[in-house]
Structure 1
């Protein structure tokens, strides 16, 4: 048994209106989500953390390989900080890519020291600053790298984000230096 033809408002010429190509629609929405994510300089994991989804799920949605229920779309829009109506609008445009965050040499030094998990009090001694100053600098690093929203694991996420963006050398290179 075949499904009945979908009809909608009759165009001026008469006859039923064709259904949109759902595969193209899913791919278009995925492209828009990817563009918004890249505009913010986020990885799929970072968007997933903000939206309550896995990196794999975000990737599948961006690629148009999975159905996108309204609830998932709402989660992604909330994570991106855009309204669903703006994302789905005919007037939506690809946002210009934001400049990647720039860390000061002192922030890089503190983040490199924090990589090993040392407490701020020890890092403060190593870099010649007060513990409060180190804490304030790390808070700014978290904001700049887009991980301040995380309840736990900010340090690790900040280090990963800094390495991904070329702001901090990978640990293997640090150890060899």
Structure 2
């Protein structure tokens, strides 16, 4: 995957996580505390500035009460990866 596509994917993933967090009624502080990370670090994930591992994505989705597969499906659809 080229750098431009990767940046787009992380930007979209961050937006999806922000939507899920807002739907769950949580703040970035709430999520960061649940994950035992600094709020700024979590904020960089939502802004697409920091990468997120699959394990961390699963943990974040557990905090929100959403299925990680749903987030990945939405990411795939939004990123137009289908040829």
TM norm. shorter chain > 0.5: yes
2:28 is aligned to 44
User: Which whole-Å CA distance do the structure 2 matches of 1:82 and 1:52 have between them?
Assistant: 19
Q: Which runs of 5+ in 2 are unaligned?
A: 76-83
Structure of larger gyration radius: 1
2:52 is aligned to 68
Greater fraction helix = 2
**TM-score, normalised via structure 1 length:** 0.38
8 Å contact from structure 1 (residues 51, 78) kept in 2 = no
Deviation of the 1:45 alpha carbon: 0.6
1:81 is aligned to 65
**TM-score, normalised via structure 2 length:** 0.76
8 Å contact from structure 1 (residues 52, 75) kept in 2 = no
User: Which whole-Å CA distance do the structure 1 matches of 2:67 and 2:25 have between them?
Assistant: 19
2:14 is aligned to 30
Secondary structure of the structure 1 residue equivalent to 2:69: helix
The CA RMSD over aligned residues, in Å, is 2.0
Q: Which runs of 5+ in 1 are unaligned?
A: 1-18, 92-177
Secondary structure of the structure 2 residue equivalent to 1:90: helix
Residue-pair matches, total: 74
Deviation of the 1:52 alpha carbon: 3.0
Query: How do residues 152-163 of structure 1 correspond to structure 2 at under 5 angstroms?
Result: none
